Amino acid sequence: MLQYAAIVLIMLGLYGLLTQRNIIKIIISLNIMEIGLNLFIVSVGYVEGGIAPILTSVNNSSSLVFVDPLPQALVLTAIVIGVGTTALGLALAKNIYQKYGTFEIDEMGEE
Amino acid sequence: MKNFLALLLTLFLGYMIMTSLAANDLFPDQGAADVTTRVSQKYIDRSVNGDVGEVIFGQATNLESGPANIVTAIVADYRSFDTLGEVTVLFVSSLGVALLLGGPKQKRLELNFHPNFMLRVGSRALFGIILMTGIYIAIHGHLTPGGGFPGGTMIASSMLLLYLADDEFRAKIKGFKMLESAAGSAYVLIGLAGLFLGSYFLENLLGNGILGDLLSAGMIPIIYVLIGLKVGSEISGVIDNFLTEEGV
């Protein structure tokens, strides 16, 4: 069920991207989409009863049932890139606010 | 009207994705995934170059990849070149933020809020604890959950605490820039050393040791600590860019 919840999150983010006219809200929509996508990728690797893919002194053998570690590694990459894009977007938003005094796309350029 | 069209488009796209996933043999139900048929099983068994049998914590030696944390084995060993690209993306984005917001003369942003003495001293005390936790997590990335990226973010969050709790505080940003470039260059140099002294880029030249020891897995703890320092200094630089403005 988590996979479908993740798809709903992606759709919510897409709807926000299409309808919102405020730069901060657009960035938040992008973030919601990204979280949905990350949840979806991680849920693909979930195994019922599997343990975290780390060998410890308790779970000490590779023959145990682990959840899939590869989607987790890919999501680690995706999260970092998401942070980078969000920072860049917010920097652009700060510059736009300094120039126009507003975050609303419709109010820009009217002076 | 426009919102309605957007809603229709979104629902249509969601319906398409869900129907394509519902009747797909390659897409298992939640929790029914079979890792043994996937490539990940080779990462768990460390058997990409050949079967080595069962891997036991504290006993297995000289595996093809040493970390006890399998996610770290993938991120910093099997797919290390991918991680180098990822670190580059973060570097470019922090460079972009510095280009957009930076300038020759910077001072702290004027805040309406002026912290009192207790807040300033308390945040200094907390700063050390958060910084140490971040470094601990970065160093133990090959044994426990976490690693360079969460550890680096935690180091940056300790800087953010100082910035928020003191309206006059300004980190020595030149040091961060030097740390960032030194860590990034060291990562590339380690890769080149593998290419010239060994046989391929980012080859693990040190011995892997016993699985589960702090000093094991060869280059991987070194690479992950470098990533932690780089991520921490980059995000601290971004925080500084956001909390300063032009002026004397």
Residue-wise pLDDT tens digits, A7-51: 999 999 999 999 988 999 999 999 999 999 999 988 888 888 888
Q: Would you say residue A57 lies in a domain?
A: no
With a cut of 80, say whether residue B167 has pLDDT above it: no
What domain range includes position A23?
2-46+69-100+102-106
Distance, CA of B123 to chain centre: 25
- Is B33's CB within 8 Å of A46's CB? yes
pLDDT in tens, B92-109: 998 899 888 877 777 787
Instruction: Compute φ and ψ for B244, nearest 5 degrees.
Output: -125, 160
With a cut of 70, say whether residue B80 has pLDDT above it: yes
pLDDT at A45: 84
With a cut of 80, say whether residue B81 has pLDDT above it: yes
**Nearest chain A alpha carbon to B17:** A7
pLDDT at A110: 65
Task: Give the dihedral sign, CA A92/A93/A97/A102.
Answer: positive
pLDDT at B37: 82
Average pLDDT over residues A62-82: 88
pLDDT at B8: 92
Confidence at B157, pLDDT banded by 50, 70, 90: very high
SS3 state at A54: strand
With a cut of 60, say whether residue A111 has pLDDT above it: no
Q: Give the gyration radius of chain B's Cα atoms.
A: 23
Check CB contact of A92 with chain B, cutoff 8 Å: yes
Distance from CA of B190 to the nearest CA of A (A): 20
Distance from CA of B70 to the nearest CA of A (A): 6
Higher pLDDT pick, A1 / B69: B69
Q: Would you say residue A41 lies in a domain?
A: yes
Helix (H) or strand (E) holding B162: helix B148-165
How far apart, in Å, are the Cα atoms of B246 and each of B95, B222, B242? Answer: 17, 38, 11
Extract the tokens encoding B42: 């080779």
Confidence at A90, pLDDT banded by 50, 70, 90: very high
Q: Look at chain A and report how many structural domains it folds into.
A: 1
Distance from CA of B93 to the nearest CA of A (A): 5
With a cut of 70, say whether residue B248 has pLDDT above it: no
Residue with tokens 């973010």: B153
Residue B32, beta-bridge partner list: A47
Q: Give the domain CATH number at A39.
A: 1.10.287.3510
Confidence at B69, pLDDT banded by 50, 70, 90: confident
Q: Would you say residue A19 lies in a domain?
A: yes
Q: Would you say residue A53 lies in a domain?
A: no
**Nearest chain A alpha carbon to B227:** A80
Q: Would you say residue A64 lies in a domain?
A: no
- Residues B216 and B61: their CA atoms lie apart, in Å, by 9
The full set of domain ranges for chain B reads 2-45, 70-246
Confidence at B217, pLDDT banded by 50, 70, 90: confident
pLDDT at A66: 87
Cβ-Cβ contacts under 8 Å for B200 (sequence gap 6 or more): B194
Average pLDDT over residues B227-243: 89
Q: Side chain identity at B53, as an amino acid letter?
A: G
Candidate from A88-97, B44-53, B192-201 with smallest mean pLDDT: B44-53
Confidence at B132, pLDDT banded by 50, 70, 90: very high
pLDDT in tens, B184-210: 899 899 888 888 888 888 888 787 788
pLDDT at A28: 94
Average pLDDT over residues B138-144: 87
Q: Would you say residue A60 lies in a domain?
A: no
Q: Would you say residue A51 lies in a domain?
A: no
Q: In the predicted model, what is the mean pLDDT of chain B?
A: 85
